[in-house]
């Protein structure tokens, strides 16, 4: 028998023709020259526009409700071939475990579309309620294999131009080993570049230019990109290794609808993961800051406790501190501004059994009266305009710890009454709230005024004063313990100097000026003066380097302390300052020269002298063997001055 033409030419039998399913573009309006495409079923079209509207469409009643017994009822339309077959029940819950759908359970194309839509809605709810990225990837992969009736599925994520296979499952939901060798990267790249679904009935023939497709003899393959807000997140790769033309139009439409929803769920899960990562980073940073603040507080307290004092008043404060630290009673600290009241409060806290709990300070004078209530006691969401969520007050934040209230005398009488109730009952009520919250807080109050006199004048509640004044502590001002000044200066210079900087030395005359000053700002004022000297870079602190209000009696903040060993006219220790007019003139000229960097013309202007007058004064000091600071080497023109006074 004569062979066929193919046999006569030495070729095998010709392969049957294959179909290629292109993705329709429903978003583009059809023109006169466009090819006719099959319209989407009403349910799938509604699902693509809005899944919630599709759910309503799916749940519409199939039979019109009869209100009149004599009225004729509308006949239920049954698709051809579905007569006698029960309608599949609609799922009642959105969070049921994803189970496989059997197409044979429904009859006809209308029934299959309805069942497919119901399944898509169920899967959509499930994946959009999952925030764990790992579980979400498993759900997306299993659902994609199910809705497309593919045998294998691969989930590929696209990041910075690189693709990574993150999930590979078969129809039995088993993991596929070595997924990179089972897929065609060229088909994935094509789908991502074109940003539309790529479908092949026989990939080895239709994409014979792809080596990966021909080498594995791929047949039915569908690749749908995952896109969110115009950005490609990855792709869903489905195939059927042994069958040709498996993926039909309804399968591709379902896959594309599912891919759009899966991309949204995947992007949301990524946003949640990024937010949780940022929050964890912020929590770690907050813990580091809290640890650093705690370390500094403990260093300050340790330095304060190790201070060797010669003052009898401060010794009594230290003795009282050791006794009251282990108790939970309120403490009120009185002292002038800058004496270290907050440092003493920290010392009490870190010496007590509450040392591991928070120490929360607040300056009552720094918070407006209208906000003090919400700051101390907190507020509920919606309590006032802008309160979008609840806020824990300082009492709740300091629970099991210590709350330090500085300048408590600035509280209004109404706020004093609320504070008294908290101290009595041990509970707070947030602004706008009804329930009370139990708190265990030790309150340490501080004031720079005579609180007892305020009570007598009616400016401070007597009952609150007695509630706080369980353990009164009074810190002496610096002028009453000048015997501690050497150790204070040494400690402050050592702490303020940089790590690689040697603390400067203080000349005896400069230190004597520091000792004679009465320091109205106490230790804070002394610390600020030393900071200024360190900032100017002095390696040795001389008398002329000190601020004028310290060296000049006329500019001091108060009366100067008498020098040691001196006697005043009343027979008591102390005397007036010994600086005379000549010494004051010398100090003034030195300061002017330093301020003008040795420029005598500018220095003369600062002093209100002519240049010739300043040169005469400098020449007079040189003749007496005194060299003023800032007086640089002179030239012949400066040395040649006449004898007349030009000042």
Give me the half-sphere count of Cα atoms (radius 13 Å) on the Cβ side of residue 2: 3
The pLDDT, as a whole number, for residue 75 is 39
Mean pLDDT over residues 135-150, rounded?
81
Q: Is residue 436 a contact partner of residue 430, using CB atoms and an 8 Å limit?
A: no
pLDDT band at 59 (very low <50, low <70, confident <90, very high): low
Whole-number Cα distances in Å, 394 to 412, 417, 461? 18, 17, 22
Does 68 have pLDDT greater than 80? no
Does 572 have pLDDT greater than 50? no
Calpha distance 342→404 (Å, rounded): 8
Q: Is residue 522 a contact partner of residue 565, using CB atoms and an 8 Å limit?
A: no
pLDDT band at 500 (very low <50, low <70, confident <90, very high): low
Under DSSP, is residue 184 helix (H, G, I), strand (E, B) or coil?
Answer: coil
Non-local (6+) Cβ contacts of 349 within 8 A are: 355, 359, 401, 402, 404, 442, 444
Whole-number Cα distances in Å, 264 to 44, 222, 248, 303? 18, 20, 25, 58
| Per-residue pLDDT tens digits for 377-433 | 999 988 888 888 888 999 999 999 999 999 999 899 999 999 999 999 999 999 988
Between 83 and 351, the higher pLDDT residue: 351
Least confident range of 139-148, 396-405, 564-573: 564-573
Least confident range of 37-41, 348-352, 555-559: 555-559
The pLDDT, as a whole number, for residue 33 is 44
Mean pLDDT over residues 560-578, rounded?
41
Q: Is residue 235 a contact partner of residue 192, using CB atoms and an 8 Å limit?
A: yes
The pLDDT, as a whole number, for residue 243 is 81
The pLDDT, as a whole number, for residue 54 is 54
Calpha distance 5→13 (Å, rounded): 9
The pLDDT, as a whole number, for residue 437 is 92
Domains of the chain (ranges plus CATH)? Answer: 85-273 (3.30.450.40), 307-382+390-476 (3.40.50.300), 484-566+578-639 (1.10.8.60)
Mean pLDDT over residues 586-608, rounded?
81
How many secondary structure helices (H) and strands (E) does the chain include? 24, 14
Mean pLDDT over each residue of the chain, to the nearest integer: 75
- The DSSP annotation for 383-446 comes to SSTT--S-B--HHHHTTTSEEEEESGGGS-HHHHHHHHHHHHHSEEE-BT--SEEE---EEEEE
Does 16 have pLDDT greater than 70? no
Mean pLDDT over residues 312-338, rounded?
86
Non-local (6+) Cβ contacts of 510 within 8 A are: 541, 542, 543, 545, 546
The pLDDT, as a whole number, for residue 439 is 93
Least confident range of 55-59, 305-309, 329-333, 505-509: 55-59
The pLDDT, as a whole number, for residue 394 is 93
Enclosing H/E stretch for 220: strand 220-228
The pLDDT, as a whole number, for residue 233 is 87
Calpha distance 591→631 (Å, rounded): 11
Least confident range of 188-197, 360-369, 589-598: 589-598
Mean pLDDT over residues 174-184, rounded?
74
Least confident range of 403-407, 476-480, 595-599: 595-599
- The DSSP annotation for 468-535 comes to HTTEEEEPPPGGG-GGGHHHHHHHHHHHHS-TTSPPPEE-HHHHHHHHHS--TTHHHHHHHHHHHHHH
| Per-residue pLDDT tens digits for 76-125 | 344 444 444 444 444 443 444 444 444 444 445 666 667 777 777 877 78
Does 32 have pLDDT greater than 50? no
Mean pLDDT over residues 603-620, rounded?
82
Calpha distance 375→364 (Å, rounded): 10
Least confident range of 178-192, 331-345, 535-549, 622-636: 622-636
Q: Is residue 6 a contact partner of residue 12, using CB atoms and an 8 Å limit?
A: yes
Mean pLDDT over residues 123-134, rounded?
79
pLDDT band at 254 (very low <50, low <70, confident <90, very high): confident
Q: Between helices 369-377 and 413-425, what is the axis angle to 10°? A: 10
Calpha distance 111→109 (Å, rounded): 5
Calpha distance 229→267 (Å, rounded): 10
Q: Is the pTM of this model over 0.75?
A: no
The pLDDT, as a whole number, for residue 90 is 44
Non-local (6+) Cβ contacts of 373 within 8 A are: 415, 418, 431
The pLDDT, as a whole number, for residue 444 is 94
């Amino acid at each position: 028998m004569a062979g066929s033409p193919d046999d006569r030419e030495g070729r095998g039998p010709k392969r049957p023709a294959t179909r290629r399913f292109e993705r329709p573009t429903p978003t583009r309006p059809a023109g006169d020259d466009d090819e006719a495409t099959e319209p989407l079923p009403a349910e799938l079209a509604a699902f693509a526009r809005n899944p919630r509207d599709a759910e309503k469409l799916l749940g519409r009643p199939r039979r019109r409700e009869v209100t009149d017994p004599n009225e004729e009822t509308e006949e239920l339309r049954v698709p051809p071939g579905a007569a006698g077959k029960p309608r599949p029940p609609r799922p009642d819950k959105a969070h049921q475990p994803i189970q496989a759908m059997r197409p044979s359970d429904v009859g006809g194309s209308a029934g299959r579309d309805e069942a497919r839509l119901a399944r898509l809605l169920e899967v959509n709810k499930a994946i959009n309620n999952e925030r764990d990225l790992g579980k979400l990837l498993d759900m997306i992969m299993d659902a994609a294999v199910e809705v497309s009736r593919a045998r294998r599925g691969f989930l590929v994520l696209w990041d910075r131009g690189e693709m990574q296979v993150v999930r590979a499952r078969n129809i039995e939901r088993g993991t596929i080993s070595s997924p990179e060798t089972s897929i065609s990267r060229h088909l994935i790249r094509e789908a991502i570049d074109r940003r539309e679904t790529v479908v092949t009935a026989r990939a080895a023939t239709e994409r014979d230019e792809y080596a990966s497709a021909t080498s594995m003899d791929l047949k039915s393959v569908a690749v749908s990109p995952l896109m969110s807000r115009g950005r490609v997140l990855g792709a869903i790769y489905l195939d059927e290794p042994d069958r040709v033309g498996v993926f039909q139009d309804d399968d591709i439409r379902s896959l594309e609808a599912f891919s759009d929803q899966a991309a949204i769920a995947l992007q949301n899960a990524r946003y949640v993961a990024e937010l949780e990562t940022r929050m964890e980073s912020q929590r770690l940073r907050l813990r580091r800051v809290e640890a650093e603040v705690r370390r500094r507080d403990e260093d300050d307290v340790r330095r304060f406790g190790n201070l060797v004092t010669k003052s009898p008043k401060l010794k009594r404060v230290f003795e009282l501190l050791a006794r009251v630290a282990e108790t939970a009673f309120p403490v009120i600290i009185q002292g002038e501004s800058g004496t270290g009241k907050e440092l003493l409060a920290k010392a009490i806290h870190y010496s007590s059994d509450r040392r591991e709990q928070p120490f929360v300070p607040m300056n009552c004078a720094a918070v407006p009266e209208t906000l003090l209530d919400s700051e101390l006691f907190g507020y509920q969401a919606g309590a006032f305009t802008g309160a979008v969520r609840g806020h824990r007050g300082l009492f709740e934040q300091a629970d099991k710890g210590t709350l330090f209230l500085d300048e408590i005398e600035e509280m209004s009488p109404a706020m004093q009454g609320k504070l008294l109730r908290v101290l009595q009952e041990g509970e707070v009520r947030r602004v706008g709230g009804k329930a009370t919250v139990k708190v265990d807080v030790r309150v340490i109050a501080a004031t720079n005024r005579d609180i007892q006199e305020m009570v007598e004048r009616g400016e401070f509640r007597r009952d609150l004063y007695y509630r706080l004044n369980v353990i009164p502590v009074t810190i002496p001002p610096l002028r009453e313990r000048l015997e501690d000044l050497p150790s204070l200066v040494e400690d402050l210079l050592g702490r303020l100097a940089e790590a690689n900087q040697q603390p400067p030395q203080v000349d005896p005359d400069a230190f004597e000026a520091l000792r004679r000053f009465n320091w109205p700002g106490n230790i804070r004022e002394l610390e600020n003066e030393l900071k200024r000297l360190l900032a100017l870079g002095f390696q040795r602190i001389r008398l002329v380097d000190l601020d004028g209000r310290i060296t000049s009696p006329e500019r001091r903040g108060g009366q100067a302390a008498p020098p040691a060993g001196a006697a005043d006219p009343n027979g008591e220790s102390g005397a007036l300052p010994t600086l005379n007019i000549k010494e004051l003139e010398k100090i003034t000229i030195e300061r002017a020269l330093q301020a003008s960097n040795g420029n005598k013309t500018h220095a003369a202007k600062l002093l209100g002298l002519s240049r010739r007058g300043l040169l005469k004064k400098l020449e007079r000091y040189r003749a007496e063997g005194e060299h003023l600071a800032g007086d640089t080497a002179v030239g012949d023109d400066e040395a040649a001055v006449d004898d007349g006074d030009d000042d």
